Amino acid sequence: MKKQLLSLVIIITVTCSGLRAQDTLPKFSVKNVGNNRIIISWTNTFQTIRQIGIQRSFDSLKNYKTILTVPDPTTPQNGYVDTKATNDHMFYRLYILLDKGVYLFSDAKKPVIDTLRKTGYTDKIDKIESVDQVIAVPNFGINSKNKPNVFTPSVHVYTYKDGYVRINLPDDEKKYSIKFFEEDETFLFELKDIKERTFKIDKTNFYHAGWFRFELFEDGKLIEKHKFYLEKDF
């Protein structure tokens, strides 16, 4: 890939009362919300964006490792909950791929203590079911008595706008398998000893629209139990 220079004009706006706007790409926020959870979040205003990779390192200049390639980089407001950092003062940066091979890296940032925890906003993070998840953060005012019920999709098994069920597994040597169920936990089918790390499953395999559940296993150990929704268009 040929590296190209890119000039950016970033405009940051506050879109809701009582909640500071997320930083606009290539700027991003890194917050320590406690209980070994680091939230990396941003707002995307690029018209064309192909890929966003979240990278982590002990050093601010080198030895970065990609810990997640975002399933849908076009989401206007998005982020990631990192629960596997060795400590809470590691460095994070974003790899951003745009159109025609143009790419850039964000500045490196370390986590800061989340001051919004005092308002009750980040309490909803406690309800996350999977270990590592992409989160969609809506624009709304804070009201601790009426917390929104926001569905947080899995980062490993999720539905995409093309209607397929996408699978995105870690790129390692471990063995993975996935069991699929109806919403009432009636068993449907199982994918055993999965070789591919990124692929998709045709929605016709699920016979109908609606909610489905799944269980993801790593070397025979259950690591995630979550659900996804298929739209009614077939």
Q: List, edge to edge, every strand of the sheet that includes 51-57.
A: 65-69, 51-57, 91-97, 103-105
Residue 95 has pLDDT above 90, yes or no: yes
Measured from the Cβ of residue 190, the count of other Cβ atoms closer than 10 Å reads: 13
Residue-level pLDDT at 164: 86
Closest by CA to 225, choosing from 217, 215, 234, 233, is 215
Q: What CATH architecture applies to the domain 1-155? A: Sandwich (2.60)
For the chain, what are the domain ranges?
A: 1-155, 157-230
Tell me, what DSSP letter sits at residue 20?
Answer: P
3-state secondary structure at position 131: coil
Band of pLDDT at residue 3, cut at 50, 70 and 90: very low
Report which of residues 118 and 96 the model is more confident about.
Answer: 96
Residue-level pLDDT at 115: 62
Taking the CA atoms of residue 226, residue 232, residue 233 and residue 234 in that order, the dihedral angle to the nearest 10 degrees is 90
Question: Could you tell me whether strands 112-113 and 29-34 are parallel, antiparallel, or unpaired per DSSP bridges?
Answer: parallel
Same topology, domains 1-155 and 157-230? Answer is yes
Averaged pLDDT score across all residues of the chain: 77
Q: pLDDT tens, 67-93? A: 988 888 888 888 888 888 888 889 999
Residue 17 has pLDDT above 70, yes or no: no
| pTM metric for this prediction | 0.49
Measured from the Cβ of residue 26, the count of other Cβ atoms closer than 10 Å reads: 20
* Check whether domain 157-230 has CATH 2.60.40, yes or no: yes
Scanning the structure block, which residue is given the tokens 């926020």? 29
- Angstrom distance (rounded) from CA 46 to CA 54: 17
3-state secondary structure at position 201: strand
Integer angstrom CA distances of residue 220 from 26, 57, 109, 214:
39, 29, 36, 15
Q: Which residues on adjacent β-strands are paired with residue 165?
A: 159, 201
